[in-house]
Amino acid sequence: MLSKKVAVRLSTAEYQVEIGRDLLGKVGRIVAPLTEGARAVVVTDSQVGPMYAGAVMESLIEVGFETSAITVLAGETSKNWEQAGQVLDQLAEAGLERIDLVVAVGGGVVGDLAGFCAGVFLRGVPFVQVPTTLLAQVDSSVGGKTGVDLAAGKNLAGVFKQPRAVIADIACLQTLPDAEWRSGLAEVAKSAILDSEEFLSWLERNAQALLARDEDVVAEAVRLSVSFKARVVASDELEFGPREALNLGHTLGHAIEKVAGYGVYSHGAAVAEGMRFAAIAIAVAVVLGGTALALASHANTLRSADLPGISTTRPHSTAALPSPEHGGGPTPGLSPDSTSVAPVGDPKNPASATRPTPQLPSGVVRPPSGSVPTPDPERPDEEDDHEVITPDIREDDPSDDEDVHEPESSPDTAPAFEKDSE
């Protein structure tokens, strides 16, 4: 398999996302030109470390890095303030200097935690993402969001810290448990729904191949998702507008994670449930003539991808629930009353709930004909009110295997969509 590359060009940073097979042994050669430092500290977890950290460390040693490792307990419960303090202490003990490197090897939790620590240690040291889960490869490793959870809510302490490189080895995904795989598919579906009809149609055609983990199809899913996110982040790096659309499904998703307890459900499962809720809410609004968002017509995508779900004891739940072998059954910590708990407010803008829907950088996607009410001729502005702005998929230049995404001007307004964290 030939590697695919997506170049992310922001006003504050530029880096490449390399997607391919058997890349772990090439990490050292890829990152060596990106820093003048002599040390590299690998941050990993107790599950990923024994499988993949060794190959990454060997590749770093081969090119001359003095290398050590920090291992945290696998799971969302490690993404907390106390654990971040311990990692920072270990970076200091390793003698890391400002030009040295932090390498995150693992899923979204490791990437968020290691990136946060790299962002605050010595007021910032270089770091590299080596994501080993589908969710991390298609979403969390790109864009520079890092952070830890607080008692008040998820991702409430963090910094924007762009990586020097993202190295996504597709071979690592073959060892993912099915639940983690479907969690990643939730983020792929989110990207497809927000991006374009082309991406969405591609996902629906290739849903079964993705479920079977066909490596060529998986690599393309990662490329399409990363390309979409890179375009959005390039237009709004610090999330004052279009980037907030990437949080589709996260308002309810974060509430589920917080009420159930971090780690009870995977982030992807919670987000998938949030997207189902959004689709149902939008479908109701369409029936009532309130909106024409294209998402209302895409519930079949969520079904065809066999996304994970959440079950509660609420007898009238309208969510698409998984079968028992897919994690179904009563939800620990959730009750009919607790599911109505509102998520904590947006730390960047407590009044964000009153702001308009964000508009993505370019292109217009409308729902299929007949899926929404006909605009009232007495309201000539109704059609504009009901648009969904999404970027188009850009075809690769045949002469170059890189997708390049440069900053676009942001809108004057700073709309909000859902709570923080893609």
How many C-alpha atoms does 299 have within 13 Å on its Cβ side?
Answer: 17
Beta bridge partners of 134: none
97 annotated active-site:
no
Catalytic, 298? Answer no
N residues, the chain: 422
Take residue 393 and report the two structure tokens written for it: 């998929």
Give yes or no: 247 in active site.
Answer: yes
250 is a catalytic site residue: yes
Selecting among 250, 258, 405, 419, the annotated active-site residue is 250
3-state secondary structure of 41: strand
Are 419 and 254 spatial neighbours (Cβ–Cβ below 8 Å)?
Answer: yes
Q: Where are the beta strands (DSSP E) in 146-207?
A: 148-150, 153-157, 165-169
Q: What is the DSSP string of 301-366?
A: HHHHTT------S-TT--S-PPPGGGT-S--TT--TTGGGPPPPPPTT-TTGGGSPPP--SS-EE-
Q: Tell me which of 182, 267, 386, 419 is the catalytic residue.
A: 267
Q: Is 307 exposed, middle or buried (0-12, 13-18, 19+ CB in 10 A)?
A: buried
DSSP single-letter state for residue 139: I
- CA–CA gap between residue 272 and residue 303 (Å, rounded): 10
- Catalytic annotation on 39? no
Annotated active-site residue 239? The verdict is yes
Q: Which of 5, 21, 39, 145 is catalytic?
A: 145
396-400 long-range Cβ contacts below 8 angstroms, 24+ apart:
none
326 noted as active-site residue: no
- Pair 160, 12: CB distance under 8 Å: no
Clarify whether 406 is annotated catalytic: no
> Choosing from 26, 154, 231, 254, which is the catalytic residue?
254
DSSP 391: P
d(CA 240, CA 200): 26
Give the Å distances, CA to CA, from 180 to 177, 183, 185, 216.
5, 5, 9, 19
Q: Which is catalytic among the residues 5, 18, 247, 419?
A: 247
Choosing from 197, 239, 418, 422, the catalytic residue is 239
Rg of the Cα trace of the chain?
21
Instruction: Provide the 3-class DSSP secondary structure of residue 205.
Output: helix
Catalytic position from the list 123, 325, 379, 395: 123
Distance between CA atoms of residues 131 and 169, nearest Å? 8
Residue 40 has which token pair?
Answer: 């590299």
What does DSSP say about strands 39-45 and 101-106: parallel, antiparallel, or unpaired? parallel
The catalytic residue among 5, 243, 258, 419 is 243
Annotation says 355 is catalytic: no
Of 18, 76, 187, 418, which is the active-site residue?
Answer: 187
The region that residue 106 occupies, defined by phi over 0 for left and psi between -120 and 50 for alpha, beta otherwise, is: left
Q: Which residues are catalytic?
A: 123, 145, 187, 229, 239, 243, 247, 250, 254, 267
